[in-house]
Structure 1
């Protein structure tokens, strides 16, 4: 396992137990972001880096009983927190690295990824792996329940021009990884970039 993986696991393991209680009001923001994916009854959706599974209930509601919802995360403690919250009833939870997913190519209709982009060890390669598991024309949602400026202020830092989530940087990164950005929103209350898998 790489040093980056170990760091990510340690970071989230230490925070898993009280993660949801630290951000109790994010539910509607997650639901609104999921709505932007345009999922239909029976669709198959992957929640990449699902954490405690906060997106699983709205994802399940969007695809219905006939759809498939899979949540993949690198950190066991976050998946355990998802189970404690009962969110394993909304989808299949999987301990997996989004950089090497044990999933069949072209098997999903969409990918939802909350707070994932900043934790990817190899963003271009990792986004290509997400592209691999969806069919052509599928949508990727890169979401965070707080915008870049508000997050930087919370963390006591400044946004720099090389920020991966800055629109021109993210658009270029997605393009190099086989995705075409279709919308970009960076407001205090949410960050949401949508992209479509190019054929």
Structure 2
């Protein structure tokens, strides 16, 4: 597992400084996905695998000044870029593994996770860890600013039957991990799966 984490950290450390400049047009897609999460003023939300914190301003706007926004990422360089961009003003930035969160059970109302699922070492247990920290009825948004086909094409690949984000694979994976898939969108300009924490 440490080797997998090292690979992820190496990948993102090398790209952290330029990350936001590489994807300058993603902001509206993040904003729309946060709106779909349906957060309310005063809610507590985690941006899991927050990277440079691009979702954090929208998350802060959704929960208001009385809410709690946490941004957790494994890679220090991404968090440093987030802090330089001022995103630490929108919430608390934490260096933490989404598979072992330093949070009590049931303390959050929601988790937002952009691009996270493809970097999880053990998707089932890791999604169960996200479920652990969310109250029953709380929500999970698995998001990417482009759809599965567009993302595969960007990397010179094709979508395979084993893609975890395919609805047929994601629905049972979430169900085994404490979530119920409520809606699923996979289109050219957006991937967004919304799930509810089961009781």
Shorter-chain TM-score range: over 0.9
> For residue 2 of structure 2, what is the aligned residue in structure 1?
2
| Equivalent residue number for residue 166 of structure 1 | 166
Residue in 2 aligned with 1:44?
Answer: 44
Q: What is the match of residue 24 of structure 1? A: 24
**2:183 aligned residue:** 183
Quote the residue 2:103 is aligned against. 103
Q: 1:119 deviation in Å? A: 0.1
* 1:2, distance to aligned residue in structure 2 (A): 1.0
Q: TM-score, normalised by structure 1?
A: 0.99
How far off is 1:126 after superposition? 0.4
Residues 135-146 of structure 1: pairs in structure 2 closer than 5 A: 135-146=135-146
Which residue matches 2:77?
Answer: 77
Deviations, residues 116-171 of structure 1 (Å, cap 9, x unaligned): 00000000000000000010000000000010000111111111101110011000
| 1:40 positional shift | 0.5
Q: Distance in 1 between matches of 2:152 and 2:28?
A: 22
- Within 5 Å, which residues of 2 pair with 1:121-160? 121-160=121-160
**CA-atom RMSD in angstroms:** 0.6
Equivalent residues, number? 199
Q: Give the SS at the match of 1:9.
A: helix
Who is 1:112 aligned against?
112
Which position in structure 2 is the counterpart of 1:87?
A: 87
Q: Which runs of 4+ in 1 moved over 6 A?
A: none
Aligned equivalents of 1:178, 1:41: Cα separation in 2: 25
SS for the counterpart of 2:161 is coil
Aligned to 2:195: 195
Q: Unpaired runs of 5+ in structure 1?
A: none
Alpha-carbon distance between aligned partners in 2 of 1:41 and 1:154, rounded to the nearest angstrom: 37
2:50 partner SS: coil
CA shift, 1:187, in A, is 0.5
